[in-house]
């Protein structure tokens, strides 16, 4: 793994070391303060390039192009919210996805399956353990956004999202986010509407570089990827971990997310 991850800077292979404890501590602090942490250069430059290059032929020919209008909840109705409330406004997402079963041999799969990675992520999130997803498609995805495309405003269904940027766009492609916009008790629909209108001064923008690990508490933090501009596609690897073992998608979910099913 030392050729894939910069283990000198990020000693995931030495969980007993003081350096490891200090790294976990600083990640926890940033998660609490900002709702995310970023580790620049986590994946070595050569491995990042190799992962992006290995994914490109399949991305060009067999990725699933998903283009849809959706609201930030990805739901047709939301309790307590009328259909014409501005928080229900539709936004457009366009992206292209490769699933784990289309990424055989890619370093991102080796990293996903390397147990110290899951152990490290769990530690930063204050959990005893995190489990790999069993779904042959959803475990790891590589998503591309091309000129004019992006993943638009949404809340995540899972508590945390873990990504590594494999290739930055020429322009755009930053992660825009508004931390703690809601709580489980307070949906803050008017606050959601203000973000959608571009009127919330607390929206922040993270400019990631290729190779950066990003861990993000997306369940109550509204976020989007800024529309990409230029000929270089933005490519990001997304890793799925859960609090319980054995999580899989239904055939219907696979079809909805990926346009095909292997369940």
Ligand X SMILES: O=C(O)CCC(=O)C(=O)O
Residues that bind ligand X (CB under 6 A): 151, 156, 161, 163, 175, 218, 223, 225, 236, 238
Encoded tokens for 211: 């190779």
Of residues 122 through 181, those in contact with Fe ion by CB under 5 A are 156
Q: How far is the CB of 198 from ligand X (least distance, A)?
A: 19
DSSP state of 4: T
Q: How far is the CB of 151 from ligand X (least distance, A)?
A: 6
Q: How far is the CB of 223 from ligand X (least distance, A)?
A: 6
Encoded tokens for 86: 């501005």
Q: Which is nearer to ligand X, 133 or 236 (CB)?
A: 236
CA-closest candidate to residue 54, choices 128, 89, 4: 4
Q: How far is the CB of 164 from Fe ion (least distance, A)?
A: 14
Q: Which is nearer to ligand X, 21 or 67 (CB)?
A: 67
Stretch that binds Fe ion, among 11-19, 122-130, 139-147, 215-223 (CB under 5 A): 215-223
Instruction: List the single partner that 163 binds among ligand X, Fe ion, none, CB under 5 to 8 Å by kind.
Output: ligand X
C-beta separation of 194 from 178 below 8 A: no
Q: Which is nearer to ligand X, 87 or 212 (CB)?
A: 212
Q: Are strands 91-99 and 204-206 parallel, antiparallel or unpaired?
A: unpaired
Instruction: List the single partner that 13 binds among Fe ion, ligand X, none, CB under 5 to 8 Å by kind.
Output: none
Q: How far apart are CA 200 and CA 14, in angstroms?
A: 42
DSSP state of 218: -
Phi first, then psi, for residue 81 (nearest 5°) are -130, 125
Query: Distances in Å between the alpha carbon of 95 and those of 84, 106, 129, 223, 227?
Result: 27, 20, 31, 16, 11
Instruction: List the single partner that 238 binds among ligand X, Fe ion, none, CB under 5 to 8 Å by kind.
Output: ligand X
Q: Which helix (H) or strand (E) holds 241?
A: strand 241-242
Q: How far is the CB of 154 from Fe ion (least distance, A)?
A: 6
Q: Which is nearer to ligand X, 124 or 161 (CB)?
A: 161
Q: Which is nearer to Fe ion, 10 or 177 (CB)?
A: 177
Q: Which is nearer to Fe ion, 2 or 205 (CB)?
A: 205
Beta bridge partners of 175: 206, 225
CA-closest candidate to residue 36, choices 140, 180, 168: 180
The yes or no reply on residue 218 touching Fe ion (CB under 5 A) is yes
Q: Which is nearer to ligand X, 151 or 196 (CB)?
A: 151
Q: Is 235 helix (H, G, I), strand (E, B) or coil?
A: strand
Site size with Fe ion, rule: CB under 5 A: 2
Helix intervals (H) in 37-114: 45-62, 107-113
Q: How far is the CB of 106 from ligand X (least distance, A)?
A: 17
Residues that bind Fe ion (CB under 5 A): 156, 218
């Amino acid at each position: 793994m030392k050729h894939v991850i910069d283990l000198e800077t990020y000693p995931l292979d030495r969980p007993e070391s003081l350096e490891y404890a200090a790294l976990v501590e600083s990640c926890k602090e940033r998660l609490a303060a900002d709702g995310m942490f970023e580790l620049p250069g986590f994946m070595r430059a050569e491995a990042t390039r190799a992962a992006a290059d290995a994914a490109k032929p399949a991305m060009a020919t067999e990725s699933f192009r998903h283009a849809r209008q959706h609201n930030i909840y990805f739901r047709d109705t939301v309790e307590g919210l009328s259909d014409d409330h501005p928080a229900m406004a539709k936004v457009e997402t366009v992206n292209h996805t490769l699933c784990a079963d289309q990424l055989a041999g890619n370093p991102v799969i080796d990293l996903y399956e390397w147990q110290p990675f899951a152990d490290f992520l769990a530690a930063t999130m204050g959990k005893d353990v995190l489990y790999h997803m069993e779904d042959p498609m959803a475990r790891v995805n590589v998503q591309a956004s091309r000129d004019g495309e992006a993943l638009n405003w949404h809340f995540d269904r899972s508590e945390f999202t873990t990504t590594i940027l494999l290739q930055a766009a020429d322009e755009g492609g930053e992660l825009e986010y508004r931390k703690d916009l809601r709580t489980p008790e307070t949906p803050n629909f008017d606050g959601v509407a203000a973000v959608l209108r571009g009127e919330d001064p607390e929206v922040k923008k993270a400019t990631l570089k290729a190779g950066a690990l990003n861990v993000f508490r997306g369940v109550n933090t509204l976020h989007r990827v800024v529309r990409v501009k230029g000929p270089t596609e933005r490519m990001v690897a997304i890793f799925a971990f859960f609090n319980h073992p054995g999580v899989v998608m239904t055939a219907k979910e696979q079809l909805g997310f990926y346009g095909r099913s292997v369940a």
